[in-house]
Amino acid sequence: MIEDAIKAFKDGKIVLIFDNDNRERETDMIIAAEHMTTEHMTTIRNDAGGLVCVPLSAEVSDKLGIPFMTDIMDAATEEYPVLGELSPNDIPYDEKSAFSITVNHRKTFTGITDSDRACTIKELALLCKNEEFDKFGKNFRAPGHVTLLRATEGHVLKRQGHTEMSIALAEMAGTTPVAVCCEMMDDETGGSMTTDKVAKYAEEKGLIFLSGDEVIKAYHEFKENQ
């Protein structure tokens, strides 16, 4: 199963990952960002419906120079004290948030259309793949309509969010450690899509659906065999 997920991810297909009953209890659609297309964006906007984010490994984030949003807030608190009051120190399902900055590629128009967001995501993945980190500010503007997420160093060994699970999949697949994730919402209940409904969706669409535990276990084995 995990082998199928790694292959699907490597081939640019959508993979569905449920984190854990003891965490968000959410399933994200996950894609390797270097394979992002406008069609993928339309599918995740309609069929997932959550916030479209781009997880990046800690190493790539450092090369781009992007911090956690909380670090930016801490640094600006003296001038804007409300940023200190807004500290996300009470997230109910994890110790800290993965949020970083938001960006658009400079060749986008508003940045929000499916083609604009796909462009921002794919161009960022290609910039990282080609190690053109010095072109980040030249080619992208902030704030934008694509939310970047900084994976914790050591990813799933240290934090077990969809951010880190996306990067673990990328590492096992040997792809650029830049991904796309978006939570699957339920139009009927206004809540997160239940795993029963996700399983049905996966079967209908021929997609791989697996648990975070499977990704984490596979990553431990991958590291042991290195």
Interacting residues toward ligand 5RP by CB under 6 A: 19, 24, 26, 28, 50-51, 53, 94, 98, 149, 161-163, 181, 183
Residue whose CB is less far from ligand 5RP, 26 or 123: 26
Q: CB of 166: closest distance to ligand 5RP in angstroms?
A: 8
Could you confirm whether 225 is annotated as catalytic? no
Catalytic residue among 94, 145, 153, 171: 145
Q: CB of 23: closest distance to Zn ion in angstroms?
A: 8
Q: Taking CB within 5 to 8 Å according to partner kind, which of ligand 5RP, Zn ion, none is near residue 34?
A: none
Catalytic residue among 28, 114, 116, 123: 28
Could you confirm whether 28 is annotated as catalytic? yes
Residue whose CB is less far from ligand 5RP, 24 or 123: 24
Instruction: Assess 162 for contact with Zn ion (CB under 5 A).
Output: yes
Could you confirm whether 93 is annotated as catalytic? yes
Q: CB of 147: closest distance to Zn ion in angstroms?
A: 12
Size of the site for Zn ion (CB under 5 A): 2
Q: Taking CB within 5 to 8 Å according to partner kind, which of Zn ion, ligand 5RP, none is near residue 32?
A: none
Catalytic residue among 93, 130, 134, 186: 93
Q: CB of 17: closest distance to Zn ion in angstroms?
A: 9
Nearest to 46 by CA among 23, 14, 6, 11: 14
DSSP the chain: -HHHHHHHHHTT--EEEE--TTTT--EEEEEEGGG--HHHHHHIIIIIBS--EEEE-HHHHHHHT---HHHHHHHHTTT-THHHHT--TT-SS-SS--EEEEEEETT-SSS-SHHHHHHHHHHHHHHHHTT-GGGHHHHEEEEEEEEEEEPPTTGGGT--SHHHHHHHHHHHHT--SBEEEEEBB-TTTSSBPPHHHHHHHHHHHT-EEEEHHHHHHHHHHHHHT-
Could you confirm whether 196 is annotated as catalytic? no
Residue whose CB is less far from Zn ion, 56 or 119: 56
Measured distance CA(185)–CA(26) in Å, rounded: 9
For helices 2-10 and 212-224, angle between their N-to-C axes, nearest 10 degrees: 90
Q: Are 92 and 73 in contact (CB under 8 A)?
A: no
Residue whose CB is less far from ligand 5RP, 94 or 214: 94
Could you confirm whether 145 is annotated as catalytic? yes
Annotated catalytic residues are 28, 53, 93, 104, 145, 183
Residues found near Zn ion in the complex (CB under 5 A):
24, 162
